[in-house]
Amino acid sequence: MKYSVAIIGAGKIASGYDAPGDIYVQTHAHAIQKSEYFRLRGFYDSVIESAQIAAKKWSTKYFESMEEAVEGADIVCVSVPDKFHYTVIKRVLDCSNIKGIIVEKPFASTSKEAMDLCEIVSDKNIPLFLNYSRRYMDEFWNLKKWIKENAGMLVCGNCFYGKGTLHNGSHLIDLLYYLVGDCKVAEVFDQIWDFTKEDASIEFVLKEKKRGTRIFFHPISSKNVTIFEFDLLFENARVYYSDEKQVIKLYKLGKNNPLFDEVNFIKSDEWKINVSHAMKNLYQNVVNVIEKKENSFCNEQAGLDIIKIVEEIRRKIQE
């Protein structure tokens, strides 16, 4: 059986980042067309011309209303700007035929909106898949296991990001939660307005709940450079990730200084990330959940937890 997927929104992550025949799979449209389990029903966008362009590119239909696009779809992918997520998802959930819904992060703008959506999907028993993309990458699954087996306790961490604390910073927060466990907001320092008037990039500190270890988040203006990286130091290892070259660098303790009898972190391995894994594994997870073979890798509750953290950061910057 092939599941029919309608894409709401025809922007970069929906259609624009790659094209049919490209080596890497970076868009929802490409992942759907490459999968044996799905067929692309078509696109709807509030800017009809955008839907037309995407439909022509991916050899599918475009729709002039959201209801027409969703009617007959088994899965709906919501890929619209952040501020429209809540209203679009609510409209989609009004349709009785939906077997699952895929949502770009963050899936709502406020915790109030997120809790409302959580209640609706629970009542309707419709699985929601939130695309914090690194949750779906083989390399980060392997990294979590590597940290557990090699790293020991976290000592400190530094993270760099831009494009809004909710829009892009939430990616880092979610990833750190996944790799090192739950954290709480410790301190908030300053903010820069490099994304939207609603979503500043804030400098803040999270504390790991187990030991109170601090992880620092530094905003870098996306008007100058786009950056997304972290550097985590543990008792026995160091982990560095940057999306600039899509690489994870792993370090273990050792002696490499011929002048001094000192122990330092020595690079032991380097993993190149295959960005295609994110979309491919996301859609495989959708199939497996619908067919009751596994749980969602990142659901609405995970999304709500991250939004609450961002709201606490925002409250503290106002104090």
The verdict on 152 and 104 lying in the same domain is: no
Structure tokens at 283: 């859609």
Q: What is the CATH number of the domain that holds 101?
A: 3.40.50.720
**Whole-number Cα distances in Å, 178 to 26, 98, 302:** 22, 29, 10
The verdict on 128 and 199 lying in the same domain is: no
Contact by Cβ (8 Å): 6, 69: yes
Q: Is residue 319 part of a domain?
A: no
Q: What is the pLDDT of residue 70?
A: 94
The verdict on 149 and 221 lying in the same domain is: yes
The verdict on 119 and 16 lying in the same domain is: yes
Contact by Cβ (8 Å): 41, 72: yes
Q: Is residue 24 part of a domain?
A: yes
Q: pLDDT truncated to tens, each residue of the chain (319 aa)?
A: 799 999 999 999 999 999 999 999 999 999 999 999 999 999 999 999 999 999 999 999 999 999 999 998 999 999 999 999 999 999 999 877 899 999 999 999 999 999 999 999 999 999 999 999 999 999 999 999 999 999 999 999 999 999 999 999 999 999 999 999 999 999 999 999 999 999 999 999 999 988 899 999 999 999 989 999 999 999 999 999 999 889 999 999 988 776 777 888 999 999 999 999 999 999 999 999 999 999 999 999 999 999 999 999 999 998 8
The verdict on 247 and 286 lying in the same domain is: no
What DSSP assignment string belongs to the chain? --EEEEEE--SIIIIIS--TT-SS--SHHHHHHH-SSEEEEEEE-SSHHHHHHHHHHTT-EEESSHHHHHTT-SEEEE-S-GGGHHHHHHHHHT-TT-SEEEEESSS-SSHHHHHHHHHHHHHHT--EEEE-GGGG-HHHHHHHHHHHHHT-SEEEEEEEE-S-IIIIIHHHHHHHHHHH--EEEEEEEEEE-SS-SS--EEEEEEEETTT--EEEEEE--TTT----EEEEEESSEEEEEETTTTEEEEEEEE---TTS---EEEEEEEEE--THHHHHHHHHHHHHHHTTSS--SS-HHHHHHHHHHHHHHHHHHH-
What span, in angstroms and rounded, lies between the C-alpha atoms of 169 and 316? Answer: 16
Structure tokens at 108: 């709502």
Q: Is residue 14 part of a domain?
A: yes
The verdict on 247 and 283 lying in the same domain is: no
The verdict on 171 and 79 lying in the same domain is: no
Q: Which residues constitute the domain of residue 52?
A: 3-133+278-299
The verdict on 178 and 207 lying in the same domain is: yes
Contact by Cβ (8 Å): 32, 15: no
Classify residue 315 by burial, with Cβ atoms within 10 Å: 0-12, 13-18, 19+: exposed
How much is the pTM? 0.92
What span, in angstroms and rounded, lies between the C-alpha atoms of 233 and 235? Answer: 7
Q: Is residue 305 part of a domain?
A: no
The verdict on 64 and 31 lying in the same domain is: yes
Q: State yes or no: cis peptide before 106, omega within 30 of 0.
A: yes
Evaluate the CA torsion angle 47, 49, 51, 57 in order and state its sign: negative
Structure tokens at 112: 């109030």
The verdict on 72 and 168 lying in the same domain is: no
Q: For the chain, what is the domain count?
A: 2
At position 99, the amino acid (one-letter code) is K
Contact by Cβ (8 Å): 191, 202: yes
Residue in 170, 172, 173 with CA at minimum distance from that of residue 184? 173
Neighbours of 2 (CB within 10 A): 11
What span, in angstroms and rounded, lies between the C-alpha atoms of 60 and 117? Answer: 30
At position 167, the amino acid (one-letter code) is H
Q: What is the CATH number of the domain that holds 185?
A: 3.30.360.10
What span, in angstroms and rounded, lies between the C-alpha atoms of 143 and 145? Answer: 5
The verdict on 90 and 120 lying in the same domain is: yes
The verdict on 52 and 117 lying in the same domain is: yes
User: Do the bridges between strand 100-104 and strand 75-78 make them parallel or antiparallel, or are there none, so unpaired?
Assistant: parallel
